[in-house]
Amino acid sequence: MTGGMSGLSDMDDLYEAIILDHYRSPRNTAPVEEPDIDLDVNNPFCGDEFHIQLKVDDDAVSQVGITGRGCAISQASASLLAELVKGKSTDDVHTAVDLIRRLLKGEELTDEEADVLGDIEALAGVRKFPVRIKCALLSWIGLDDALKEFSSTK
Amino acid sequence: MNNTYSETAPAAGTRKFDVESIRSDFPILARKINGRNLIYLDNAATSQKPRQVIKSLTDYYEQTNANVHRGVHTLSIEATDEYELARSKVANFINAPRPEEVIWTRNTSESLNLVAATWAEQNVGEGDNIVITAMEHHSNIVPWQQLAARKKAELRYLAAGEDGLLDISNLESIVDSRTRLVAMTHMSNVLGTVNPVRELADRAHAVGAVILVDAAQSVPHMPVDVRSLDVDFLCFSAHKMLGPTGIGVLWGRYDLLEEMPPYMFGGDMILEVTYEDANWNKLPYKFEAGTPNIADAIATGAAVDYLNDLGMDNVWLHEQELTVYAMEKFSALNEVKILGPKDPTLRGGVVSFIHETIHPHDLGTALDQQGIAIRTGHHCAMPLIRSFDVVAAARASFYIYNTKSEIDALVNGIRETEGYFSR
Ligand SMILES: Cc1ncc(COP(=O)(O)O)c(C=O)c1O
């Protein structure tokens, strides 16, 4: 972790290096051709918004593209999400989204569960800043809901 | 620029405008936030409350509490007197001709809804139009959208120019013979722009329309005189002017209020009830069904006293000084763009801004770490915020207890945040 400036070092838990890295260079932002899922999610209160595109083959996410604008937490979280879902089965994605929800609610995860999340555990720092939890969760919940709907209409 | 606030009666005040002494009246300013002294710059959302207002609440509950307008016992008489005295104070504060024209509501939003549901319900019809501006708070947009849809009337907008000022170049064609109502904000809660109310009032009256002013951001900060503005309705909230939450004001011209149907039905608002029918009480009680918010009305009177002691001219001058100072200091921040008029004399003490690289929420969290409270988000003015091609902005807004050194702290805070995020 990089030490923050004098008055702001308490924010280091929120803005871990990995979060800032994903914020500055979000991954998987290229548009997906002929996506199976193409949705916009936004939180008008914060002004966070995303465009999420997924291609699903044999019940697994084969391609993902997420772009958006908003705060560092929401954008980094979406980039981490994009990295995670690529190549995962829809069931694995639901499991990961449940884990993230539990993590941000303040539950302790087992070592195996933490392994599933990997880098994404860096988002846990948001727990100290409850008003920012929705920033972290927005893209996750949007994607999860869309994927559930997609699976059920197939 | 002929700003309407300067046309009001003098409001000199009897107490010296001494910020340190004012600050000592506000207990909350002693609070630490994240280990730092609180710097409260979210006054456009709600103001802090002085001891005098808090004490008026506790005094009322400890000494006077009783229901009003019913009963002959001492407490009820005292409570009624204090409640009505507060109404008179508010009436004087805005130079209303009669205290019965002051209706207590819950807030600005309720005042606006009251007019929409009563006066406008009766007076706006198919093919008529309502004119509002592009810089309204949602509270002064949505009731008119709903009404226009209900009545098949047209909702028209006066645009906000690039310069943050209201564009009234086509006023004559927008406010026309089918206009029934002009509903406009006196001062924008996002841009700070002070609008030329009198000019619009003159145009509205020339075509036989009525003008309503959302004064939520003006009454707390500048002298407002309903007679020199020549308006018909004025709406504001006590909580933005040192008073408690849960109480607001609708002022209306007596003849208009007289003609309007009641907004809610129940006790206090009736004169006589039979099993078949009822007739309405006189003003203002026709609009105050049920037990009113007695304590908060009385405390609003205490807030008005506090502001009168300082003098609204001095309040305005103090905020002008802070705004000029803030805009000058902000100009040294290269990544910060201020929304609204460049000329500080055309605006009130509201400075909204966009940072090129730091999202308002990240900035808000970082400033909060330093004890500085600002507003972030869409400021209940989504269409306006979106017109700047952003979805959120940050806003610092000032009041009587703010100082230049707090503005310095804000500017330093933004610099520190820039340093933090570029590490
Ligand atoms: C210009 C303006 N109008 C209306 C309102 C609504 O006031 P209230 O929330 O007290 O009803 C506000 C408050 O933010 C405002 O700034």
Q: What's the gap in Å between the CA of B361 and the closest CA on chain A?
A: 6
Do B310 and B290 meet the contact criterion of CB atoms below 8 Å apart? no
Q: Which of the residues in chain B have pLDDT under 50?
A: 1-10
- Count of all residues that appear for chain B in the document: 423
Domain ranges for chain B, please list them. Answer: 5-49+311-421, 53-308
Is residue B237 within 6 Å of ligand 1 at its C-beta? yes
Q: What is the dihedral of CA B42, B47, B48, B52, to 10 degrees?
A: 160
Domain ranges for chain A, please list them. Answer: 6-152
**Which CATH fold topology does B5-49+311-421 show?**
Aspartate Aminotransferase, domain 1 (3.90.1150)
Q: Which of A15, A20, A46 sits opposite B392 (nearest CB)?
A: A46
Q: Which residue of B has its CA nearest to A48?
A: B391
Could B369 and A73 be called an inter-chain contact, meaning their C-beta atoms sit closer than 8 Å? no
List, by residue number, the catalytic residues of B. Answer: 380
Residue tagged 């702290």 (tokens): B409
Return the pLDDT at B11: 65
Q: Which is the closest atom of ligand 1 to the Cα of B239? A: 10
Could A70 and B34 be called an inter-chain contact, meaning their C-beta atoms sit closer than 8 Å? no
Residue A144, amino acid = D
ipTM of the complex: 0.89
Q: Which of the residues in chain A have pLDDT under 50?
A: 1-5
Strands B129-133 and B179-185: parallel
Is residue B47 within 6 Å of ligand 1 at its C-beta? no
Q: How far apart are alpha carbons B383 and A27 in whole angstroms? A: 31
Please state, as a whole number, how many other Cβ atoms lie within 10 Å of the Cβ of residue A49: 18
Pick the CATH number of A6-152 from 1.10.1740.10, 3.40.1280.10, 3.90.1010.10, 3.90.1300.10: 3.90.1010.10
- Nearest residue to A15 (alpha-carbon basis) of A4, A7, A31, A27: A4
Do A123 and A15 meet the contact criterion of CB atoms below 8 Å apart? no
Return the pLDDT at B3: 43
Q: How far apart are alpha carbons B325 and B417 in whole angstroms? A: 21
Could B362 and A71 be called an inter-chain contact, meaning their C-beta atoms sit closer than 8 Å? yes
Return the pLDDT at B379: 81
Could B365 and A14 be called an inter-chain contact, meaning their C-beta atoms sit closer than 8 Å? yes
Residues 123-152 of A with CB under 8 A from B: 129, 132, 135
Is residue B111 within 6 Å of ligand 1 at its C-beta? no
Q: What's the gap in Å between the CA of A118 and the closest CA on chain B?
A: 24
Q: What's the gap in Å between the CA of A120 and the closest CA on chain B?
A: 19
Q: How far apart are alpha carbons B316 and B297 in whole angstroms? A: 24
Domains B5-49+311-421 and B53-308 share a fold: no
Could you report the per-residue pLDDT of B5-51, keeping only the tens digit for each? 444 444 678 899 999 999 999 999 999 999 999 999 999 999 999 99
Could A20 and B421 be called an inter-chain contact, meaning their C-beta atoms sit closer than 8 Å? yes
Q: Which of A42, A46, A49 sits opposite B377 (nearest CB)?
A: A46
Stated pTM of the model: 0.93
Residue B108 CA to chain centroid, in angstroms?
7
DSSP A126: G
Return the pLDDT at A6: 56
Do B131 and B156 meet the contact criterion of CB atoms below 8 Å apart? yes
Q: What's B53-308's CATH class?
A: alpha beta
Q: Does B423 touch chain A (CB under 8 A)?
A: yes
**By percentage, how much of chain B surpasses pLDDT 70?**
97
Q: Which residue of A has its CA nearest to B362?
A: A71
Q: How many CA atoms lie within 13 A of B242 on its CB side?
A: 31
